[in-house]
Amino acid sequence: MESRVQTVCLIVLSAVAIGGTMFWLKPVMIPFVLALFIALALNSFVNMQMKLLKVPRVLAILSTLMLAFLLFTLLGVLVTASVGQLADNAASYIATVTNFFERVGQILPVNVTALTPEGVSDRLSKMSIQTVSGLLLNTTNAILGLVSQSFLVFIFVIYLLIGGGSTHNATGEPNTNDAWLEIESRVTQYLVTKAAISAGTGFIVWCILTMLGVDLALVFGLFAFLLNFIPSIGSIIATLLPLPVVIVDPSMTTTAAVLAIALPACVQITVGNIVEPMIIGDSLDLHPVVVLLSLIFWGMLWGVVGMLLAVPITAILKILFARLEPTHAFAEALAGRLMSTGIADDT
């Protein structure tokens, strides 16, 4: 029992030290970790070409990098255009949100609060400006930071792909005795599937908002794509972002305003509760509470990018913990199997 307590204390102290180091090295660690996950996803296409098309690994890597470069260039152009549109309309969007909260303040009855309706309106307006402007600024800076670091990320991806053949032989068959194979298999499946589902979600949301004539439809579609990588919380934020624009827009009918919120919400609910569980399932073996805690932790550590990468990073840590005897109990706890950790027996 005493040795277990010492081991837990050492692990906690090590985790704190590593967390501080990762926060200090954030400018380098974020592009490297992002490149690591991109390389994991692309490596599956490299191995598939080697196995099915019988091409050498060098040619498979070159073709994969060319395809990835085209896709990421297209995504970068889309992101830059969307962020530029968002920046150009940020003042108008904040003014729209302010107008929305002013209306809410005027509707509120006086007997609910000691403040006058005008006071409620002013306070809600100030809160809306601070909250929305902070959200727009942080998210815009995070996206622009990723775009500006894209060259460094791409260099990391090239080196990771070139040196990533240790888990597969020359024909693309996996080396089953390699411990990294489980990480590559689970995380790659999650990333590829999640990216495809998120792209479909963003495209559908963009089409719906465009057909309904909502301003900044492309921006909201892009946010639906990006925020879908953040479990639960991201879908809610993506659904509520167009709300002030939709409600305050004088040219929009009541039916169109309701549909602009209800239809994307139905898409998010369907994707989150039916499509993703059916396709992805519980492949990462993480408890929902652990997922939420990981979002908070990595969000505090690396901001918006940390929240986007929180789930796959936690999944990798869980797999590594399961491989080591001293940390096996932590892996079981991350999966929600507390009875398997031995805690109940000790108590």
Q: How far apart are CA 97 and CA 103, in angstroms?
A: 10
pTM: 0.71
Q: Are both 60 and 107 inside the same structural domain?
A: yes
> Helix, strand or coil for residue 244?
helix
User: Is there a single domain that holds both residue 65 and residue 155?
Assistant: yes
Minimum mean pLDDT among 33-42, 69-78, 166-175, 204-213: which range?
166-175
Pull the structure tokens for residue 214: 């909502």
pLDDT digit string, tens, across residues 76-85: 777 667 666 6
Residue 71 lies in a domain: yes
* Domain that includes residue 254, residue range: 179-279
pLDDT of residue 110: 43
Determine, yes or no, domain membership for 20. Answer: no
Residue 253 resides in a domain: yes
- The percent helix, strand, coil of the chain (3-state, each to 5) is 80, 0, 15
Q: How many CB atoms lie within 10 A of CB 344?
A: 9
Domain boundary among 224, 246, 279: 279
| 152 and 197 belong to one structural domain | no
Q: How confident is the model at residue 124 (pLDDT cuts 50, 70, 90)?
A: very low
**Among all chains, which residue has been given the structure tokens 């309904």?**
212
Average pLDDT value for residue range 145-157:
75
| Most confident range, picked from 134-143, 158-167, 247-256 | 247-256
- 125 plus 184 within the same structural domain: no
Asked if residue 208 has pLDDT above 80, the reply is yes
Banded pLDDT at 344 (limits 50, 70, 90): very low
Q: What is the mean pLDDT of the chain?
A: 76
Mean pLDDT in residue range 76-102? 66
pLDDT for 203 equals: 93
For residue 341, being part of any structural domain is answered with no
The Cα 130–Cα 138 span in angstroms is: 12
Q: How far apart are CA 34 and CA 156, in angstroms?
A: 9
Q: 113 with 199, same domain?
A: no
Domain check: are 52 and 159 in the same one?
A: yes
95 and 119 fall within a common domain: yes
Q: Is residue 52 part of a domain?
A: yes
- Work out how many domains the chain is built from and give that number: 2
**CB within 8 Å of 90: residues ≥ 6 apart:** 133, 136, 140
- Say whether both 187 and 253 belong to one domain: yes
The number of residues making up the chain comes to 347
CA distances from 279 to 185, 197, 275 (A): 15, 9, 6
Where does a domain end: 218, 246, 279?
279
Q: Are residues 134 and 183 in the same domain?
A: no
Residue 109 placed within a domain: yes
Residues of the chain with pLDDT > 90, as a percent, come to: 7
- Asked if 109 and 272 touch (Cβ cutoff 8 Å), the reply is no
Q: Name 168's bridge partners.
A: 174
324 in a structural domain: no
Residue 230's identity, in one-letter code, is I
Clarify whether residues 132 and 224 are in a common domain. no
| Same-domain check for residues 160 and 185 | no
